[in-house]
Amino acid sequence: MRNLSKALIALALFSCTAVLMAQEAGPRIVLSAKAEKEVAVRKDGGETVKRVPVEIAARGDMIVYTITYKNEGREPATGTSIVNPVPKGTTYIMESAKGKNSRITCSVDNGKYYQPQPAKYQVRKDDGTIEYRLAPAKMYTHIMWLIEKPLPAGSSGEIEFKVKVN
């Protein structure tokens, strides 16, 4: 019985090691994010928009979320998707999501279903028929980017979106 237990433990350790080795050998996407506030700055008689780190956000502030992704694995990553919720207390700025080589979709139902912008939602009319309406910005709950090209080992990219503080 003792030898059987040692054999099972050894098999379990071998299996875990094999999984870890497989993970190290394949793609490994690492994400980092930052939030910056867009502020108007007067310069040379004109006005420009500058991004500064968010220390305090107030009603009406425009916040830009930038997510950097990097493949720290040893193989190309394919079919990479990144999902970010629209933060509570904010409203998504329509069409503000950007990302090179990415297909951008959004959700208005807490991430259950994704669709291209502008998003639509269903309304059941009194007669029982379904009507599709354009979703207002305040209904957007999640943004998803599907990176359409393979991401080679060691390469990285950025995606972003904007919200307004309610």
pTM over 0.85: no
Report the Cα 52 to chain-centroid distance in Å: 21
- Given a contact cutoff of 8 angstroms between Cβ atoms, the answer to whether 27 and 153 are in contact is yes
> Is 12 within the bounds of a domain?
no
User: What domain count does the chain have?
Assistant: 1
> Is 140 within the bounds of a domain?
yes
> Is 113 within the bounds of a domain?
yes
Q: What is the span of the domain harbouring residue 72?
A: 27-165
Phi–psi pair at 96, nearest 5 degrees? -85, -15
| Predicted confidence (pLDDT) per residue in 132-164, tens digit | 999 999 999 999 999 999 999 999 999 999 999
Give first-to-last CA distance, the chain, whole Å: 65
What's the CATH code of the domain at 131?
A: 2.60.40
Q: Scan for tokens 């979709």, then name that residue.
A: 105
CB burial of residue 125 (10 Å; 0-12, 13-18, 19+): exposed
- Find, among 26, 28, 32, 23, the residue nearest to 69 by Cα: 32
| Predicted confidence (pLDDT) per residue in 12-40, tens digit | 333 333 333 344 568 999 999 999 999 88
Q: Scan for tokens 């003792």, then name that residue.
A: 2
